[in-house]
């Protein structure tokens, strides 16, 4: 499903006790979304189930961040990230996401599980600046090389801080 929502400047802020929960299959199709996910995304259960999770991808999110996320979870590791999501009505909401692989009893990855909570406002300001720079790098690199270019930019920035992405995100 191609997302054709026009972003607005309207921000929705999660409540301190909110937890957005979703599950996807191996290809990122939504298999479960809780009530809070439906509330913030603006989509009903029938619209979410079977849709690609990127239905809520905001254009302010660099492709390199999602490449990092997918590389991490496909390596059977959990990933933490700050993500700006796009609601059906065009509004947006920031989350602090934890995405983990689901394992079968035999140890095979069967899908992915994500829990998102209210992010720290100070962290969002820092991350938003980095993401804006990454988007500029992606635009300059062009569609074919965008992910690699912005991921290389991010890695270089974090190397200068002496931290991996995971270390950096968890210290914000």
Domains annotated for the chain, with CATH where assigned, are: 19-171 (3.30.450.20)
* pLDDT, position 161: 87
Sheet containing strand 109-117, strands side by side: 30-33, 19-24, 109-117, 92-103, 79-86
99: pLDDT strictly greater than 50: yes
Phi and psi torsions of 55, nearest 5°: -60, -25
Query: Residue 1: is its pLDDT beyond 80?
Result: no
Q: What is the pLDDT of residue 3?
A: 58
Question: Are residues 98 and 125 in contact, defined by beta-carbon separation less than 8 angstroms?
Answer: no
Question: What per-residue confidence (pLDDT) applies to 4?
Answer: 83
Nearest to 81 by CA among 63, 101, 66, 92: 66
Model-level pTM? 0.94
Instruction: Calculate mean pLDDT across residues 27-38.
Output: 98
């Amino acid at each position: 499903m191609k997302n054709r929502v026009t972003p607005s400047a309207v921000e929705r802020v999660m409540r301190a006790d909110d937890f957005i929960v979703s599950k996807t299959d191996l290809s990122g199709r939504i298999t479960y979304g809780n009530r809070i996910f439906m509330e913030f995304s603006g989509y009903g259960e029938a619209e979410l189930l079977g849709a690609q999770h990127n239905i809520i991808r905001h254009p302010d999110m660099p492709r390199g961040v999602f490449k990092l996320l997918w590389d991490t979870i496909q390596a059977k590791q959990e990933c933490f990230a700050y993500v700006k999501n796009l609601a059906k009505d065009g509004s947006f909401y920031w989350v602090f996401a934890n995405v983990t692989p689901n394992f079968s009893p035999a140890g095979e990855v069967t899908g992915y599980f994500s829990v998102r909570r209210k992010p720290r406002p100070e962290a969002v300001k820092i991350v938003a600046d980095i993401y804006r720079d990454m988007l500029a790098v992606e635009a300059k690199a062009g569609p074919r090389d965008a992910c690699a270019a912005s991921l290389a930019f991010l890695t270089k920035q974090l190397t200068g801080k002496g931290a991996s992405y995971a270390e950096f995100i968890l210290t914000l």
